[in-house]
Structure 1
Amino acid sequence: MRTVIIIIAVVAVLVLGKIFLFKKPDVGGEKGGGGANPSASKSGEKGKGEKGGMQGSTPPISVNVYVASFGDLDNVVTSSGTIFPNEEIELRAEASGRIITLNIKEGSRVAAGQLIAKIKDTDLQAQLKKLNFEVELAKQTEARQKKLLDINAISKEEYEITANKINTLNADKELIAANLEKTVLRAPFTGKVGLKNVSQGAYVTPTTSLATLVQTNPVKVDFTVPEKYSTLIKVGRGIKFEVEGQADAYYANIVAIDPKIDPNLRTLKLRALAKNPSDRLVPGMFVKVTIDLDISKAIMIPTEAIVPILKGKKVYIIKNGKAAEVMVETGLRTDKRIQVTKGLSAGDSLIVSGIMALKKDSPVKAKTVANK
């Protein structure tokens, strides 16, 4: 009996513990909790919405701005060139033979017509002497036959044969004289003799180069310019050029323009003539040429503002607080500026920094503004 009572007491304790210690939340509490949770959820959603709104609005990019304007354009074209002698030839004899006179000194100046070399001509002189005798004899014969013809002692045909022989002998003399002239080599123009290749007594042929004769006053300056300047440069225009290692500037005038443009390089070849009395300009020197063309009005912008693209070139300008793309055409270029011939107007706010990060309609804000 006592055991039964103990069991009943234990059961009663468990029931009471179930009722009071493990009380189930009421529905109102659940609703209250649910009412609190939606509020928190709404608050969280609101915060999330605000955060999302902040992420959707991109802050403007700070950029440097250059205000486009018209200014004086010094139309200066620079190019590289080379100095060439005004005249240059290889001295060669027209006849074959042994040189008996060689009247040149390496590096010396010679005048036009001065004797350079003489080839042995004793055989030609002997032939000429023989022809002179034959001509003299033929003239005497012609004079006697003329008298005989006057008295009809000989036929006219015989007389004409003798007269024709005189003409033939004279023609032979002219041929010998021409061959003798080939044995003498004279300077065709005033210039300086280069290093000689033969010595006196050497046997030479028309293919043998005795030396080089160069005329260095004046000198030619050959250079090229891009084809777009072909209509701006005329014969007679002055140029300035500088030589490496010399502080002085030299001046020349354009004397010739190549009638065609190089199809591979798209350049036009020009030639100028410069005085060189002191021989400071040596053929073969590299020169930097500057041509001053006409001054004009143009829009010049910083070169860093240009963005090369597949279809040409573009720039970014500020329009209504956003970056706008503008296609442009360019002209002359200097080390820091480039001419815009089409696409920009005076007063346009040109973006010159952060260009690689820009896109069309990107919000921008001017950080610094310049117009020089």
Structure 2
Amino acid sequence: MRPLIIAAAIILLLILGKIFFWSSDSEKESGKPGDKKMIMGGKPGEMKPIMVKTITVGLDNSDKTVFSSGTTVANEEVELKSEISGIITKLNIPEGKMVAKGFLIAKIKDDDIVAQLRKIELEEKLAAQIEARQRKLLDINAISKEEFEISQNKVLTLKADKDLLKVQLAKTEIRAPFAGKIGLKNISLGAYVTPATVITSLVQFNPIKLDFTIPEKYLNSIVLGKTIKFQTDGSLDERTASIVAVDPKIDETMRTLKVRALSNNSSNTLLPGMFIKVFINLGSTQSVMIPTETVIPVVDGKKVFVKRNGKAEEIKIETGLRNASSLQVLKGLNVGDSLITSGLMTLKAGTPVFTKK
């Protein structure tokens, strides 16, 4: 048994020795200068040039358009409440329907006010008769002027009381302050309401307002009456609106300016609260425009690669407006530069590059 163990150990050592020598030979072969040249593509240490596509940077006559987003806002909107407390005796709320200005929406019980008004009217009539008689007596000096003035003041006081009751009576009616669409009904007939009770809502959205923001650097380009275009979310139809107001202050946090526009909505297809995309054309200008896919975002801004002297050169750029496929370059690129448009993810500063002729 012992000779067999010794023989097995010798065979194992021979196998391990053979593997070691094979590994050494492979490393020597891979370290030959000729092989390194095949991997690196040139002299030892040189990188293999990468084939890229380029375009020549030039000026493009393009529309200067500012893109923004915003919200549709009702032209007029109000929660309808009562000025006084009482029981609802009449309720007329056609939910979701258009109503005219002055439309009677609700009526509060007014029996006590009507009774007081009748009483005052009778007292006023009697006081007026007494005043008329005393005026005749005053004309013949049968009474003093002071007595006549007392009866005259009585008539005036009762008239003022009557006017006050008429005002209170008018407050028992809740009417539409403007033409618009009635909201949902929040109460029922016979309910007791207070000035805090929301009976329903009324919204007018023709025309409809558009509220959006723009960067402060475009402040001088926004003028009242300027026409803008906008789209609602999920729609490709473009609509127009006219700028009617600009907020007099800048948002210090976002460095933006709030703008309001007005658009015709006779079809009533736009509702308050809808998301919109806004396009503001600031005119046509000549500037450096490059494909958006050539721009690489980095921590401190944006960069591109250009081909110079057979190598890729990294350039930091400042950008401006953008359209569907291009981005405006404000600083960093010059007319005539060879902008690299392919293989961007494999490039770094100094990488040898070439273009296919």
Report if TM-score (shorter chain) is over 0.5.
yes
Q: Deviations over 1:125-156 (max 9, x none)?
A: 11111112222222223233333434444433
Unmatched 5+ residue regions in structure 2?
Answer: 1-32
- Overall identity of the aligned pairs, in %: 55
Give, in angstroms, the shift of residue 285 of structure 1: 2.8
Residue 135 in structure 1 maps to residue 149 in structure 2: no
What pairs up with 1:352-363 in 2 under 5 angstroms? 352-353=341-342, 362=350
Normalised to the residue count of structure 1, the TM-score between the two structures is 0.74
Q: Deviations over 1:284-341 (max 9, x none)?
A: 3333333333121110123354455676555444444455555543211235422112
- Write the distance in 1 (CA, Å) between the matches of 2:344 and 2:246: 42
Number of equivalences: 320
- Write the distance in 2 (CA, Å) between the matches of 1:240 and 1:159: 73
For residue 53 of structure 2, the aligned residue among 64, 75, 98 is: 64
Q: Which amino acid counterpart does residue 103 of structure 2 have in structure 1?
A: Q
- Write the distance in 2 (CA, Å) between the matches of 1:279 and 1:212: 17
Residue 183 in structure 1 maps to residue 168 in structure 2: no
Residue 367 in structure 1 maps to residue 355 in structure 2: yes
Are the counterparts in 2 of residues 261 and 267 from structure 1 also a CA contact under 8 Å? yes
Are the counterparts in 2 of residues 243 and 288 from structure 1 also a CA contact under 8 Å? yes
Give, in angstroms, the shift of residue 111 of structure 1: 0.8
- Write the distance in 1 (CA, Å) between the matches of 2:277 and 2:316: 34
For the structure 1 residues 210 and 357, does the alpha-carbon distance in structure 2 shift closer, same or farther, using more than 3 Å as the test? same
For residue 182 of structure 2, the aligned residue among 187, 190, 193 is: 193
Normalised to the residue count of structure 2, the TM-score between the two structures is 0.77
Residue 228 in structure 1 maps to residue 217 in structure 2: yes
Give, in angstroms, the shift of residue 199 of structure 1: 1.9
Q: Which amino acid counterpart does residue 221 of structure 2 have in structure 1?
A: L
- Write the distance in 2 (CA, Å) between the matches of 1:70 and 1:221: 35
For the structure 1 residues 209 and 310, does the alpha-carbon distance in structure 2 shift closer, same or farther, using more than 3 Å as the test? closer
Q: Deviations over 1:75-98 (max 9, x none)?
A: 233333333322221121222212
Q: 3-state DSSP class of the match of 2:184? A: coil
Residue 92 in structure 1 maps to residue 93 in structure 2: no
Are the counterparts in 1 of residues 85 and 195 from structure 2 also a CA contact under 8 Å? yes
Which one has a bigger Cα radius of gyration?
1
* Equivalent position of 2:109 in the other structure: 120
- Write the distance in 1 (CA, Å) between the matches of 2:324 and 2:300: 24
Q: Which amino acid counterpart does residue 164 of structure 1 have in structure 2?
A: N
Are the counterparts in 2 of residues 65 and 368 from structure 1 also a CA contact under 8 Å? no
Residue 111 in structure 1 maps to residue 100 in structure 2: yes
What do you get for the CA RMSD once the two structures are aligned? 3.1
Residue 295 in structure 1 maps to residue 271 in structure 2: no
Q: Which amino acid counterpart does residue 171 of structure 1 have in structure 2?
A: A
What pairs up with 1:145-294 in 2 under 5 angstroms? 145-244=134-233, 246=235, 248-294=237-283
Are the counterparts in 1 of residues 107 and 173 from structure 2 also a CA contact under 8 Å? yes
Unmatched 5+ residue regions in structure 1?
Answer: 1-46
- Write the distance in 1 (CA, Å) between the matches of 2:356 and 2:70: 42
For the structure 1 residues 304 and 244, does the alpha-carbon distance in structure 2 shift closer, same or farther, using more than 3 Å as the test? closer
For residue 321 of structure 2, the aligned residue among 332, 335, 357 is: 332
